[in-house]
Amino acid sequence: MTIGRFGLRRRQYDFPPYRPPSEANSLLLRVTRGCPWNRCTFCSMYKGMKFERRDLEEVLEDISMARELYSERVRTVFIGDSNSLVLKTEDLVKILNGLYASFPHIERVTSYARAKTIAKKPLEELKKIFEAGLNRLHVGLETGDRELLAEIDKGATPEEMIEAGRKAKEAGFEYSLYVLLGIGGEEKWEQHARGTAEVLNQIDPHFIRVRTFIPQPNSQLYEAMEEGKFHPASPETVLKETRLLLKELQVTSQFLSDHISNLVPLHGKLPEDQEEMIRLIDEVLKGLQEDRLLREELEARRHLTSL
């Protein structure tokens, strides 16, 4: 049973609306609401939601509520919403202390974070947060290409992405970076793949997680697509881009495509599984030329608009 969904739903418990797939069985704890940036042109997640930090006492009350129901069962916790590191370090440490005091069997606590916030936070504060028990950060890189990062208004340069990654690793965190396949559309796939590999190579994160970009209603890129100004990448283009990205990577990361949007189930450790993953992509690229049903199936993924 998924922790935290049933008993807590009946109480006044506040859930973060999004979490990584790998946190499906985690206790979900909301410490902020919305996104303090909220400007990425591809993102519709928190549009219309005013960003706020939750009151510390309210968060601690949620922890008490969860403890009554799940004290012995919680092994992993995910902290939301989109960038918990914007909290004051002392508040985040109090929340982490509350979690570890309430759930004796915690093995992992994770959170989303923005690279820019990590880059700005003093290393000593990051270390304090890590030592208080936040073990893993999930961060959206999306692309390492300078031009694309500016176009999608990610709010961080390649240099800041690299600084954030290195600093988070130095503080002790497991670092999990998301890459948005297809974010360069039909035209900019090659610079997207090369730029992303360059940044990833400089960071060597613990995890590289790929998602395939599907324009979401209520986002600027969706509107641009509707107006004919953004041309979504075809399945072939996304596969060629993924192939090039893999080819260019010189990292020791876990590579995962743990999301329904992706065209090929690529999972492996780099560099050991690099060639096998490339072989799998080549197989699907070949299949696309010969198998109409496969093409239709992969093209249909573009309509998964409630992700």
Binding site for ligand SF4 (CB under 6 A): 35, 37-40, 43, 45-46, 82, 114, 140
The first and second tokens of residue 161, run together, are 């992405």
Residue labelled with tokens 């090929």: 264
Task: Give the three-class secondary structure for 2.
Answer: coil
Instruction: Copy the structure tokens of residue 118.
Output: 């990590």
Least distance from ligand SF4 to the Cβ atom of residue 113, Å: 10
CB of 11 to ligand SF4, least distance (A): 27
- The distance of closest approach from Cβ of residue 287 to ligand SF4 in the complex, given in angstroms and rounded to an integer, is 32
- Minimum distance from residue 143 beta carbon to ligand SF4 (Å): 12
| Residue 9: both structure tokens together | 């739903």
At its nearest, how many Å lie between ligand SF4 and the CB of residue 35?
A: 3
DSSP bridge pairs for 112: 138
Q: Looking at beta carbons only, is 127 or 259 nearer to ligand SF4?
A: 259
Helices vs strands, H then E, count in the chain: 12, 10
- Biggest distance spanned by C-alpha atoms of the chain: 60
Closer of 59 and 113 to ligand SF4 (Cβ):
113
Q: Which C-beta is closer to ligand SF4: that of 63 or that of 208?
A: 208
Cβ atoms of 213 and 184 within 8 Å: the answer is no
Single-letter amino acid, residue 51: F
Are 63 and 95 contacting, i.e. CB atoms less than 8 angstroms apart?
yes
**Smallest distance, Å, CB 7 to ligand SF4?**
28
Closest CB to ligand SF4 among residues 98, 182 = 182
Copy the structure tokens of residue 64.
Answer: 């008490």
The pair phi, psi for residue 69, each rounded to 5°, is -95, -35
Give the nearer residue to ligand SF4 in terms of CB position, either 19 or 114. Answer: 114
User: Which residues, including other chains, have CB under 8 Å from residue 71's CB and lie 6 or more apart?
Assistant: 102, 103, 104
Nearer to ligand SF4, 86 or 281 (CB): 86
Q: Which residues are 138's β-sheet partners?
A: 112, 176
Q: Which of 154, 188 has the CB closer to ligand SF4?
A: 154
Strand partners, 59: none
